[in-house]
Amino acid sequence: MVQIWRDLLFAHWPFSAIELRRVVPSALELDLFQEQGWIGVVPFRMTGIRLRGLPPIPPASASLELNVRTYVTVDGRPGVYFFSLDAEKLLLVMAARYWYRLPYFHARMGFRERDGLVSYESCRMNRKAPPAEFRAQYRPTGEAFHTTPGTLEHWLTARYCLYSIDPRGRVLRAEIDHAPWPLQSAAAEISVNTMTAPIGLSLSGPPLLHFARKLEVVAWTPETVCHNTTR
């Protein structure tokens, strides 16, 4: 699947390994930077959504998305583990839940950009899912740059696969292909953020912020990695 991610904010908060171990399946090894774990809340918009080799289907070719993520490894491969992904298009939510076994939720979402300032909001609509809400304004504050290996910015964003757990308890890995992130420093005013409340963690203190204007991404079909997913 091909997607173009636009006007993306990386907002990251540090967490201890003990806190993360309580909420991440044991089959996934926590990936830590200098013994520190991180959780990211990432709002953005997607355009050009399509199956590779096929044209976009207009009703499902664009959507807002907001994900909550942390960082893990399996067999030495670093990747992303999603606690939740909220999207405004119900068709995309259903397809991603089935195909990628990811915890997608339908949400009422809004996006507006004026003079470089992005206003973004999301309110989860799934009645059977824990409520979660996000509201923020953000903007880039510096020139675009590519990260340097060994830095925290590189460790947080240079991730080329995602992990999920299927209903049979198997770990799945989906490869993600994209160019290096064109990151910019960012500023944000986050007025509402309960996105980690469903997993029992609280986001406190100022986050580490980065902005990315545009990135084309290719996500491949998930494949089984292993079967041991006991917690």
User: What are the boundaries of each domain within the chain?
Assistant: 2-226
The superfamily (CATH) of domain 2-226 is Acetoacetate decarboxylase-like (2.40.400.10)
Its pTM surpasses 0.75: yes
Instruction: Kindly report the backbone phi and psi dihedral angles of residue 176, in degrees, each rounded to the nearest multiple of 5, phi listed first.
Output: -125, 125
Q: What are the pLDDT digits (tens) for 24-49?
A: 999 999 999 999 999 999 999 999 88
Per-residue pLDDT at 54: 60
Q: What are the pLDDT digits (tens) for 148-175?
A: 999 999 999 999 999 999 888 899 999 9
- Region 7-29: mean pLDDT is 97
Task: Give CA–CA dist 172/163, Å, rounded.
Answer: 6
Q: Tell me the one-letter amino acid at 190.
A: I
Give the burial class of 137: count Cβ atoms within 10 A of its Cβ; 0-12 exposed, 13-18 middle, 19 or more buried: middle
Q: What are the pLDDT digits (tens) for 37-88?
A: 999 999 999 998 877 666 656 666 789 999 999 999 999 999 999 999 999 9
